[in-house]
Amino acid sequence: MYKISLKDFEGPLDILLFFIKRDELDIYNIPISQILKEFLEYMHQIEELDLEIAGEFIMMASTLMHIKARMLLPREVNEKGEEIDPREELVQRLLEYMRYKEMTTDLSTLESHRRKITFRKYFKHDEVHEPHDFDVLLKNITLYDLSKAFKKVIDDLPKITEHQVKKPNVSAEEQVQFILNKVNEKGEIDFCALINGMVEKIRIIVTFIVLLELVKSQTIQIRGGESPNNFIISKV
């Protein structure tokens, strides 16, 4: 058996993508029985998990088992009479996660390139940028600054000792609209104010990832704030 370690992965979706890429599986036609077997074997390899990480893995295992059970039953149909694939929601989550990973790689590359640039002070040509350049969208802020702000928000969440396995009631589309509404309403808003009142870690994570996607699509821009653990979000 191919031995893998928890530290190599960022969560259950990361592990599923690893299995799919390793075995060259079709992500649109996932063999659920095979993936479930691999996933459960991996969980048995893990000797120590904290409650929060364990909850994520248990929820994914239960999701895979639920999909497997549905695939053994006659297929449901939608209002158009088309068969509903029980794997469809999982496939969409995996595709969305792949896009976020690729976006993170792009931002890391951007950060690496920025570190190689030194601007001359008080020289007017240094102030000229193409419209919607990433240098403008990420003005005065680095990937490290974003990570610090995100970590502080997560660390400040109230500690939860009880964990219930349930489907997260949050979507990327919902948080995109939430961010755009806040920016349109206020013109600009800092990250801490944006997520003020959110108590679910998954909602904050989705909001942060969606925020980066909006920067990448040149819909909004961000810049450093007064606090080193915060940043300002505004229109382009």
One domain, residues 20 and 128 = no
One domain, residues 127 and 50 = no
Domain count, the chain: 2
Strand pairing of 231-235 and 220-224? antiparallel
Q: Would you list the DSSP string of 154-183?
A: HHTSPP------------HHHHHHHHHHHH
One domain, residues 63 and 151 = no
Cut 0.75: pTM above it: no
Say if 98 falls within a structural domain.
no
Query: Residue 76 carries which DSSP code?
Result: P
Contact status, residue 68 vs residue 38, Cβ threshold 8 Å: no
Which CATH number do you get for residue 198? Answer: 1.10.10.580
Say if 79 falls within a structural domain.
no
Say if 167 falls within a structural domain.
yes
Say if 189 falls within a structural domain.
yes
Say if 216 falls within a structural domain.
yes
| Single residue among 46, 72, 98 that ends a domain in this structure | 72
Say if 106 falls within a structural domain.
no
One domain, residues 139 and 203 = yes
Question: CB-based burial of residue 147 (10 Å sphere; 0-12 exposed, 13-18 middle, 19+ buried)?
Answer: exposed
Distance CA 227, CA 67 (A): 46
Order of strands, edge to edge, in the sheet holding 188-190?
Answer: 138-139, 220-224, 231-235, 188-190
One domain, residues 66 and 142 = no
| Single residue among 17, 52, 72 that ends a domain in this structure | 72
One domain, residues 58 and 151 = no
What pLDDT shows up at residue 124? 47
* Sites in the chain below the pLDDT cut of 50: 1-7, 122-131
CA atoms within 13 A of residue 78's CA, in its CB half-sphere: 6
One domain, residues 62 and 132 = no
One domain, residues 48 and 124 = no
| Single residue among 72, 105, 128 that ends a domain in this structure | 72
One domain, residues 40 and 125 = no
Note down the domain range covering 24: 6-72
Say if 1 falls within a structural domain.
no
Distance CA 101, CA 121 (A): 35
Say if 26 falls within a structural domain.
yes
